[in-house]
Amino acid sequence: DAKTTQPNSMESNEEEPVHLPCNHSTISGTDYIHWYRQLPSQGPEYVIHGLTSNVNNRMASLAIAEDRKSSTLILHRATLRDAAVYYCILWPNSGYALNFGKGTSLLVTP
Amino acid sequence: SQTIHQWPATLVQPVGSPLSLECTVEGTSNPNLYWYRQAAGRGLQLLFYSVGIGQISSEVPQNLSASRPQDRQFILSSKKLLLSDSGFYLCAWSVRGGGETQYFGPGTRLLVL
């Protein structure tokens, strides 16, 4: 299965934008890029996903590189409630994601 | 709207004892169902997934098993727990098909002593 690489941790100040990177150099043409986040002691929560074009929703934006080998999750204004582990995973169009990896632990400071 | 339930929320079991964790989904039909485990300090590992009643696929060989006796019910079981079975167990569902968003339950925290 195609793998992703994310930094172990990142830190941001409250009210500032956050850019969370993800590398997926072995992505295949039919893999969707999904982002989830997990707050402490809770199950993961869907954030956003895309295939080729950049995507926006009420939670975040997803910027996908032209060659699709990397993507960036953008939180426009970080809040304390955004402190979580963020997972970038590749979801085959005709299969199942296997592992979420360790993700990026985002610390937001006031 | 759809909801997913898991119980119990926490469980402490001795080594060698049996296990049964239940997951039910409401508000949708024919979902794909998944069991994940998250060991302390690690990412989520897919254990089983199911595309229909009685259809179970295992991703990791181990002493756990899964069953789907009804369309919206998914059960994770073990005949004899090991210390290494401790972790946070999460059930999830998605609309039938690949590449779909998964919706996770609240999880069961299992401690095997």
pLDDT digits (tens, 9 = 90+) for A52-109: 999 999 999 999 999 999 999 999 999 999 999 999 999 876 666 667 888 999 999 9
Q: How far is CA B52 from CA A14, B47, B113, in A?
A: 44, 16, 34
Residue A46 to chain B, least CA–CA distance (Å):
7
Our CA dihedral for A96, A99, A102, A104, rounded to 10 degrees, sits at -10
A7 at interface of B, judged by CB pairs closer than 8 A: no
Confidence of residue B37 (pLDDT cuts 50, 70, 90): very high
Give the mean pLDDT of B75-100.
89
Res A98: pLDDT = 66
Give the mean pLDDT of B74-83.
96
A87 at interface of B, judged by CB pairs closer than 8 A: yes
Please give the DSSP secondary-structure letter assigned to residue A93.
Answer: T
Q: Measuring CA to CA, which residue among A6, A26, A23 is closest to residue A92?
A: A26
3-state secondary structure of A56: strand
3-state secondary structure of B84: helix
Res B14: pLDDT = 97
Q: Which of A2-6, A31-35, A79-83, B52-56 bottoms out in mean pLDDT, i.e. has the lowest?
A: A2-6
Interface A–B counts its CB contacts (< 8 A) at 57
Q: What's the CA gap between B29 and B57, in Å, rounded?
A: 19
Please give the DSSP secondary-structure letter assigned to residue A80.
Answer: G
Q: Is A94–B99 a contact, with Cβ atoms under 8 angstroms apart?
A: yes
Q: What's the CA gap between B56 and A30, in Å, rounded?
A: 24
Res A1: pLDDT = 53
Q: What's the CA gap between B54 and B45, in Å, rounded?
A: 22
Q: What's the CA gap between B72 and B82, in Å, rounded?
A: 28
Q: How far is CA A73 from CA A85, B10, B24, in A?
A: 12, 33, 31
Our CA dihedral for A5, B84, B6, B47, rounded to 10 degrees, sits at 50
Give the mean pLDDT of B72-95.
95
Confidence of residue B99 (pLDDT cuts 50, 70, 90): low
Mutate to test the interface with A, among B10, B44, B59, B93 (most CBs of A within 10 A): B44
| Bridge partners, residue B12, by sequence | B111
What count of other Cβ atoms lies within 10 Å of the Cβ of residue B97?
A: 10
Structure tokens at A26: 């072995």
Is a pLDDT exceeding 60 seen at residue B98? Answer: no
- For residue B88, the chain A residue with the least C-alpha distance is A41
The tokens 């999830």 sit on which residue?
B92
Q: Are the CB atoms for A100 and A36 separated by under 8 Å?
A: yes
Question: Chain B partners of A97 at a C-beta cutoff of 8 Å?
Answer: 46, 102
